[in-house]
Amino acid sequence: MSNDVMIYASDLSKTFGSFRALDKINFEVKRGEIVGFLGPNGAGKSTTMRILTCFISPTGGTARVNGHDVFDDSLAVRESLGYLPQRAPLYLEMSVLEYLRFAADLRHLDAQTFRKRARSVVEVCGLAQVLGKEIRHLSHGYRQRVGLAQALIHDPPILVLDEPTSDLDPNEKAEFLDYLKQIGKERTVMLSTHNLAEVEASCARAIIISSGRIVADGPLDEIRAKSGRVRYVVSIQESAGDGAYRGRGPLPKKSEVEDALGKVGGVKKLGELPTDDRAHAFEVVSEQEVDLRPEIFRLVADKGWVMLELHRDAQTLEDVFRSLTIGDERRNRRLGPQPEVEDDEDDEDEESDGDRPGAAGGDAAEVAAKDQRS
Amino acid sequence: MRNILIIARRDLRAQFNSPVAYVVIGGTMLLLGLIIFILPHMSVGGVSVGGFWAIDRASMDQMFVCLPPLLSLLVIPAVTMRSLAAEKGSGTLELLITMPVRDSEVIIGKYLAACGVVVVLLAGTLLYPIAMFWGHWGIGWNLGALDWGPVWAGYLGCLFFSLAAVGVGMMLSSLTENDVVAFFMTTGALFLLYAVGLLVSLFQGSWTAVVEFISFESRFQSFARGMIDTRAIVYFLSVATLCLLVSFRSLESRKWS
Ligand SMILES: Nc1ncnc2c1ncn2[C@@H]1O[C@H](COP(=O)(O)OP(=O)(O)OP(=O)(O)O)[C@@H](O)[C@H]1O
Ligand SMILES: [Mg+2]
């Protein structure tokens, strides 16, 4: 059962006038998966979701939801979906309860099922306090909760949520993501977001889309490994202050440390980190395969310096996201036979403005995007 | 069918949850009362209005002279602007349409709701003939026997007229995302459709026939005179149907923009 494809998109394209909002994107989402849909502003996340929910039609390609084609069988598609559009556009003059009842009516829930479901979604979305209030008087976060509640009211097998947590407070956000994880075992959830921590917390898989194209798709670990670099942070004592210096020989100078670290084999990049005057701190970036920690330790010990800190950071998802999507904005999305803009120069900009190293440019983006798990 | 009723009920409730419906209905009643009962008799472009007390006849003709313009210029534009234009503008249409409902059900549901508001208004205006000509109100007073036949014919005319006019309003509302634009487009269109009949004398030859064919006013005239004109009914219903079809297409076209 767990291998059913619930959302299937094949060569999906959408153009607005001469603007290419989606450019042949392909992906599948199976039952029991929670997929984070990531991408910079204007990447085409909402457009994809609107196609999947039959609000707009694709210009090319096919999409199937729960086995039904979004074009030929859109009623069946919409029956199996719960959808929260971006910014939760609700009828402001209705009260929360009225709205939920309206949604349930259109989903043809009977009164008893409605009561049961309403109780559960009201609890999950934390709406008990505001049930009788008109939506126009609610704060944005609460409106979003109502939007979530209406998407969940009929307990749909597939949930498509466009930035469902953007206005929620941290408590509600955590609770909601927990709930998603819990119901997500049997259902299919596709949620778009800009918050990468959230993806790490709730999704096992991410699809990263940029300028209308998928640049990465797969389990988070795999995506994280994609940029293929690791960062180490090293700090060496610079002055002992009032206490006794425990090292051998004189206190090291910054240039000394920098030179020595630079000579360690496998170091790709070395940068200074800001510290007080008690320590020299550096970050060292290397390829992923080699572990530099033994080398660094040996070096420091041999020199007789005092090591205050040595740790290794895996690439954060954020780094990967940046490396996959930065520079892509300038990609030409006009239709017609204009030449593609070369991406090379973009890499330069980004290395100098990026405060985190390891954000490699276009090459990472080319380590493309197939779901390799199957 | 069920979806149509759910949507219509919600829309109707929304209309009456906002002050717009009350202001429009109240305003129309007030204007109607003013024109019928307070205004001295006068003649505007060959149409005589006012002078209810001066005519010295038990007749509600005046009401059916005033109702269609008021409906066209105020009530129907204000009601239909909210049906689709406002929903498109605020984005709520996206949530509605991604529910398992057909586009046609959305259009028809909203159309019925808009017609509902007009029916409520028409029912409200019944107060005037009732107050003037029926019962004794404990003071042993009324204006005497009214021939109710023409009144019912007039109301029937207003109803079919409204069905067509609401259709026009829905259509224009479906073409824009801005409710103010929808309001003025509807006002303009209905004004033209109505007023062109008043100008019929300005047209020559075969144009007269064309104008009389299109004009809501010419079609409405026989009702105002107490006759039930089936050809007019067919015409009004055809206009409504056509407009709803266009609205449906226009709603569908969002998919291809
Ligand atoms: N109806 C439309 N007409 C013209 N262009 C559109 C339309 N809808 C979307 N676009 C364009 O398509 C692109 C993708 O938009 P989309 O809303 O899918 O982005 P997104 O990934 O959801 O961005 P965000 O993170 O800001 O929500 C944008 O550049 C947008 O300008
Ligand atoms: Mg979006």
Q: What are the tens digits of pLDDT across the range A272-314?
A: 888 888 888 998 888 766 788 888 999 999 989 999 999 887 6
What is the distance of C-alpha B70 from the center of its chain? 8
Whether B95 and A108 lie within 8 Å, measured CB to CB:
no
CA distance A45 to A190: 11
Which residue of B6, B90, B254 is in closest CB contact with A105? B6
pLDDT for the residue numbered A373: 37
* Min Cα separation A135/chain B (Å): 13
Among the bound ligands, name the one nearest to the CA of residue A208: 1
Whether A56 and B3 lie within 8 Å, measured CB to CB:
no
Enumerate the β-bridge partners of residue A207. Answer: A37, A217
pLDDT for the residue numbered A265: 81
pLDDT at A368 over 70: no
Provide the token pair at B70. Answer: 């008021």
pLDDT for the residue numbered A74: 93
* Phi-psi group of A127: left, alpha or beta (phi > 0 → left; psi -120 to 50 → alpha; rest → beta): alpha
pLDDT at A350 over 70: no
- Following CA atoms A35, A41, A42, A46 in sequence, which dihedral angle do they give, to the nearest 10 degrees? 40
Parallel, antiparallel, or unpaired: how do β-strands A81-84 and A34-38 relate?
unpaired
Contact with chain A for residue B48, Cβ under 8 A? no
The structural domains of chain A, with segments of one domain joined by +, span 5-225+338-373, 229-313
Whether A91 and B10 lie within 8 Å, measured CB to CB:
yes
Per-residue pLDDT reduced to its tens digit, A232-252: 889 998 888 788 888 888 888
- Which residues of chain A make contact with B13, given a CB cutoff of 8 A? 94
Would you say B129 and B25 are in contact if contact means Cβ atoms under 8 Å apart?
A: no
pLDDT for the residue numbered A201: 82
Handedness of CA B215, B221, B223, B229 (dihedral sign): negative
* Min Cα separation A141/chain B (Å): 17
Ligand 1 pocket at CB < 6 A: A 16, 19, 21, 39, 41-47, 86; B 257
Tell me how many helices (H) and strands (E) chain B has. Answer: 14, 2
pLDDT for the residue numbered A360: 39
CA distance A257 to A238: 10
SS (H, E, C) A299-347: HHHHHCCCEEEEEEECCCHHHHHHHHHCCHHHCCCECCCCCCCCCHHHH
Contact with chain B for residue A89, Cβ under 8 A? yes
Would you say A307 and A235 are in contact if contact means Cβ atoms under 8 Å apart?
A: yes
Task: Tell the residue nearest (CA) to atom 16 of ligand 1.
Answer: A44
CA distance A92 to B180: 19
- With a cut of 50, which residues of chain B have pLDDT below it? none
- Amino acid making up residue B16: F
- Amino acid making up residue A366: E
Whether A102 and B6 lie within 8 Å, measured CB to CB:
yes
Among the bound ligands, name the one nearest to the CA of residue A40: 1
The structural domains of chain B, with segments of one domain joined by +, span 2-256
CA distance A49 to A146: 19
Rounded distance from Cα B164 to ligand 1 centre (Å): 37
* Min Cα separation A59/chain B (Å): 8
CATH architecture of the domain with residue range A229-313? 2-Layer Sandwich (3.30)
Contact with chain A for residue B255, Cβ under 8 A? yes
Provide the token pair at A90. Answer: 């609700």
Q: Which residue has the higher pLDDT, B163 or A354?
A: B163
Q: How many residues does chain A have?
A: 374
Tell me how many helices (H) and strands (E) chain A has. Answer: 13, 14
CA distance B50 to B66: 10
Parallel, antiparallel, or unpaired: how do β-strands A307-313 and A188-193 relate?
unpaired
Q: What mean pLDDT value characterizes chain A?
A: 84
pLDDT at A349 over 60: no
pLDDT for the residue numbered B142: 61
- Amino acid making up residue A250: P
Residue of B nearest to A87 (CA): B91
pLDDT at A75 over 90: yes
Whether A87 and B90 lie within 8 Å, measured CB to CB:
no
pLDDT for the residue numbered A331: 65
Would you say A86 and A98 are in contact if contact means Cβ atoms under 8 Å apart?
A: no
| CATH 3.40.190.10 is the classification of domain A5-225+338-373 | no
